[in-house]
Structure 1
Amino acid sequence: MKTVAYIRVSTKDQNLQRQLDEMKKFGIEDKYIYEDKTSGKDMDRIGYQYMKKSLESGDTLVIKSLDRLGRNQNDIKTEWQYFKDNKINVRVLDMPALNIDYSKGEAIEGLHSMISNIVFEVISWQAEEERTKIRQRQREGIESAKNLGKHLGRPQLNLNTITKYQRQVLENNYKEWKAKKITGVEFAELLELKKNSFYKIVKEYENTLN
């Protein structure tokens, strides 16, 4: 029987170190710590699926909080039932009342089980509500940006947004290209531009020469 941990943050820019430190304090070896840097909107995550496949009856899964499993209440319920059905112990560090423990036979039933189920329903609901709020804030932010006329997505590529290096390459090689001493493909590669962007920027540059 082994003890494994699952840690997760929602984006690649976020840091897993705090959760990692908690798991190491718990005595879990690095090889048994599975991680993801992605949204909890569903369970189709590489680290999570590897962790789940590694679990056997009698093993223990440790998580920092219930929302590290996910943000969808139905998905969380399904996974929780999977752990119960397969007699996998679960330790929730931030909410011990949710712990599933088969180490001394069957998990505790009765009043403790009822309280645990109530707490689980509340916490899993809160996890999904938080995801709903995040999505709402994102929609409001996008709508606000549109109303202000802001461009969303990648910055538009044009003569004014290329780097100083690209501008220098353009100026140094433009006459060579016009004289057909280098091809358009070679010129675009020197500028590190795709075909459409290359011709667009060259045209803008030519307009400055007139």
Structure 2
Amino acid sequence: MLVGYARVSTEEQNLDRQIDALTKYGVDERNIYQEKITGTKRYREQLDKMIDELKANDIVIVADITRISRSTKDLLNIIEDIKSKGASIKSIKDTWLDTTADNPYNSFLLTVMAGLSQLERDLISQRTKEGLASAKARGREGGRPNKRNDKFDIVKLMCKEGYKIKDIIQQTGLSRSTVYRILKDLEGN
């Protein structure tokens, strides 16, 4: 039986592209395990459930290697877990990831290509860190703008004028917890 696994890293991302690729490949949509969690975490509920439920001769289909794992060690462990169930794994995009045939070249290619994927991920991470350090040295801070800093004076003024918390939230568009953090900061001053 064909079993699919689809994963995206965040709740905001969409699984449709992967599900379309898996169903086009022949995986019944009812047999696709889906989750929204980073691939760097080893414990993934749906991945673990899929592996537990695998039967001999099942074939796990993934859209591409990065959906199943983001590190070489993790990938090799997952593949070993799948093989221990008597099942195999195939990637639609990365055709070298195919353990359905007992071919020593498949194992070799798997190890080399997984290592290259890990190298690519590590290089991206290194360049990102270098870019952030460079920007910080020039006085630029990365990340999401801090709403608290932008609305601090407004909340302070509204509190002095006696506005209720719910009115401050409504007027500023801030969350209740952000307003309370600002008020806590005000108490400290």
Compute the TM-score of the two structures, normalised by the length of structure 2: 0.77
Whether contact under 8 Å (2:19, 2:29) holds in the other structure is no
Are residues 1:135 and 2:120 paired? no
Where 2:99 maps in the other structure, the secondary structure is coil
- Which of the numbers 185, 188, 194 marks the counterpart of 2:179? 194
Q: Summarize the Cα distance change of 1:92–1:199 in structure 2 as closer, same or farther, 3 Å threshold.
A: closer
Instruction: Measure the CA separation in 1 of the matches of 2:128 and 2:23.
Output: 34
Instruction: Measure the CA separation in 1 of the matches of 2:114 and 2:90.
Output: 15
- 2:34 maps to 35
Matches for 1:14-33 after TM superposition, within 5 Å:
14-33=13-32
- Which letter does structure 2 place at the counterpart of 1:188? I
Instruction: Please provide the CA RMSD for this pair.
Output: 3.1
Compute the TM-score of the two structures, normalised by the length of structure 1: 0.70
Q: For structure 1, list consecutive stretches of 5 or more residues without a partner in the other structure.
A: 102-106, 205-210
Instruction: Measure the CA separation in 1 of the matches of 2:126 and 2:137.
Output: 16
Matches for 1:8-87 after TM superposition, within 5 Å:
8-87=7-86
Deviation at 1:125, TM superposition (A): 0.5
- Which letter does structure 2 place at the counterpart of 1:129? L
Instruction: Measure the CA separation in 2 of the matches of 1:6 and 1:140.
Output: 34
Q: Summarize the Cα distance change of 1:35–1:148 in structure 2 as closer, same or farther, 3 Å threshold.
A: farther
Deviation at 1:124, TM superposition (A): 0.7
Q: Summarize the Cα distance change of 1:47–1:76 in structure 2 as closer, same or farther, 3 Å threshold.
A: same
Q: Summarize the Cα distance change of 1:132–1:194 in structure 2 as closer, same or farther, 3 Å threshold.
A: same
Q: For structure 2, list consecutive stretches of 5 or more residues without a partner in the other structure.
A: 170-177
Where 2:151 maps in the other structure, the secondary structure is coil
Instruction: Measure the CA separation in 1 of the matches of 2:126 and 2:142.
Output: 17
Instruction: Measure the CA separation in 2 of the matches of 1:145 and 1:99.
Output: 42
Give the paired residue count. Answer: 180
Instruction: Measure the CA separation in 2 of the matches of 1:131 and 1:45.
Output: 20
Q: Which has the larger radius of gyration?
A: 1
Identity of aligned residues (%): 25
